[in-house]
Amino acid sequence: MFHEDRNYSKAIYIKKVIVLAVIVSLSFFAVACNLMEPETNRYVPARSTLYDNKTDTGDTGDTGASYRPVLDIEPDINPGIGSGHEFSPPELPDTAESTGLERDEFGILIGSLVFDEPVLLMGAYDVINVRDGPDIATQRVATIGMGQVAEATEVVDGWYHITIFPGMFTGYARSDLLVDYDENIKYFAAPRVDYIVRPGSNGEDIVMESTLVDVRTIIPDIEYHMIFATPDNFTGSTLYARDVPILQSGTADKLAKAFELFVEDGYRIKIYDAYRPSSVSGILFSIIGDPTYIAPQGTSMHNRAAAIDMTLVDFDGNELEMPSPMHTLDRTSNRDYQGMSAEARKNMDYMASVMRKCGFTTVQSEWWHFSDSEIANYPPLDFTFMEFFFYPVQA
């Protein structure tokens, strides 16, 4: 009996060792698979869980008894995304100089005050709610991001009443989430890498890589005015939350080559549109309804971040004469429009020749539009402009 018990105990022991070995092996395999996963997949998409719709109004919690500046996430810049800059929480400004109001223990201004003249501020965190009243229970009307500029006219019960530039959204933001504007600090979007799975024609999935970059980090002297980041466009509404030109990395490299050629001739590129979220294309198509000028949601070349709307300016910032104003969606914008001046035709043809030489294609209906010749390599995307990390650089 004792001998049988020993054998039984030995068998149990061996079984435990085997089970433990299997668990360790599986754990090691899981870790190894995670490490072999592309580095970018471990932090991208950024902040995607914060968004309850596909507009640029991502939510950060300015609610809750803890009164943390950002409730949903820890405010940070992931150094792994290529910025090379560690994030440190901003120091709140000297209230004696900026507003004359004191702050409570959470950094929120105490009381109310109408400013003698507007005060320039900027966002201190990635995504900050802007509401239609000075209270967390009021409706969110917009967002403001890190480094984004706003003008405050007053403080109401600890909330700034602001207008965000250049989108001109107006509302209230908690005073502990904004800091004094500093013209010596510039904010850039860090690269964002995603792997998008799409069905192939043969039934097998195709994995497409998207590497989005801030064009300003590739071409520092680029001129830009993202027209849909302002209400000054044919819709009359602001459709982008930030005024920043985003392109695929390969497309930006082609554009940099074109920029160098234009500079040699005394000109610079001015971008009016680049990456356009697919949902925004849906809004535009619902207004225009003509695929000649606006492609439906998910089908625009801009949705792939591999197309730009642009013109040329001289070194003083003056735009060259072109067939029509930007985004004039009628026959005057066509490349074969017979009513354009000789100067406009010369400038249009010159711009197109350089862009084609650098790997871009044109469309007949829009003199301003250029697509990357390799655009088929990139998937359509629908990331909002608030789904990017921004990092500061001392100017």
SS3 string, 262-305, reads HHHCCEEEEEEECCCCHHHHHHHHHHHCCCCCCCCCCCCHHHHC
Distance CA 60, CA 64 (A): 11
Q: Is the model's pLDDT at 58 over the cut of 50?
A: no
Please report, for the chain, the start and end positions of each structural domain, with discontinuous segments joined by +: 2-36, 50-182, 188-394
Closest CA to 209 of 35, 41, 383: 41
Lowest mean pLDDT among 17-31, 144-158, 286-300, 318-332: 17-31
Q: Give the mean model confidence (pLDDT) for residues 104-115.
A: 91
- CATH of 50-182 among 3.30.1060.10, 3.40.640.10, 2.30.30.40, 3.30.1450.10: 2.30.30.40
What is the structure's pLDDT at 92? 58
pLDDT at 188: 95
Residue 31 has pLDDT above 50, yes or no: no
Query: Which tokens sit at 385?
Result: 């402009």
Matching residue, tokens 């914008």: 333
Question: What residue type is 172 in one-letter code?
Answer: Y
CATH class of the structural domain 188-394: alpha beta
At 19 the pLDDT is: 42
Which has the higher per-residue pLDDT, 100 or 139? 139
pLDDT at 34: 34
Query: What tokens were used for 143?
Result: 């967002």
Which residues 6+ apart lie within 8 Å of 269 measured at CB? 219, 222, 223, 255, 258, 259, 262, 310, 311, 312, 313
Question: What integer pLDDT is reported at residue 256 of this predicted model?
Answer: 98
* pLDDT confidence of residue 94: 56
Residue 12: pLDDT over 50: no
Place of tokens 């100067």: 343
Q: For residue 381, is pLDDT > 50?
A: yes
Q: What is the pTM of this model?
A: 0.76
Q: Average pLDDT of 227-233? A: 94
Mean pLDDT in residue range 320-348: 96
Lowest mean pLDDT among 228-237, 282-291, 366-375: 282-291
Higher pLDDT, 252 or 74: 252
pLDDT at 201: 78
Q: Which amino acid makes up residue 205? A: D
Residues 332 and 323: beta-carbon distance below 8 Å = yes
Name the 3-class secondary structure at 12.
Answer: helix
